[in-house]
Amino acid sequence: MAHCITISQEEFSTEKEMEQQNNTVAYGVVKGTTTFLWQRKMKTYFDAVVIGHPGKYITRSHYEEIIYRIKTRYKGLSKRAIEIINRVFLQILWGEPVTRGGDVGKNRKVSLTEFTRNAAENLKPENIGTFIEVLDYISASLFWFIDVDKDKDISLDEFNEFFILFGIPHQFSQNAFESIDADDSGQNALIRHFR
């Protein structure tokens, strides 16, 4: 049975107006995505995207700013690498999980509530297979940027340096790195997957 995320009366008016403006509708979501923990995780991601430009909405310009930070951090990227970054952040992340393929223009605004609802849509049984394939593509694409020394391993330092681009403190990126390193080998599962 699908559940909907609860929003306040004030947010409701704004959300209704945004749904009409964005030509979207409230999606039913998977029960687990209505938990407080899920909502906190989505808020953390939302805040990482809007770093430096805090506000109530994610816009395309936030993803363009992320691309700029990546290009600045990883100088000398090839034209192909820049195309991949643009595809990952604008076409895939902005264009699908955030906006659900609707209006993806520069004036589009996505609230935290809509973002959370749209992200949850990817976890529905009929969507999860495609979502996993997309995550694999994103992980493989970003692996080569994170692996700065090109030794086909991502060190904790490389992992931290990438996530600092999103304003994620070392403590949190270290926790994420350790959670991926399920067998305590010092390598995360993504590294073994993409070798």
- What are the extents of the domains in the chain? 9-124
Angstrom CA distances, 53 to 13, 50, 66, 139, stand at 24, 5, 11, 26
User: What would the pLDDT profile of 31-77 be if each residue is shown by its tens digit?
Assistant: 555 677 877 888 888 888 887 666 789 999 999 999 999 999 888 88
Gyration radius from the chain CA atoms: 17
DSSP 3-state of 32:
helix
What value does the mean pLDDT of the chain take?
Answer: 76
95 phi and psi, to 5 degrees?
-75, -20
Whether residue 189 has pLDDT greater than 80? no
Question: 9-124 has which fold?
Answer: Recoverin; domain 1 (1.10.238)
Q: Is the pTM of this model over 0.95?
A: no
Whether residue 23 has pLDDT greater than 70? no
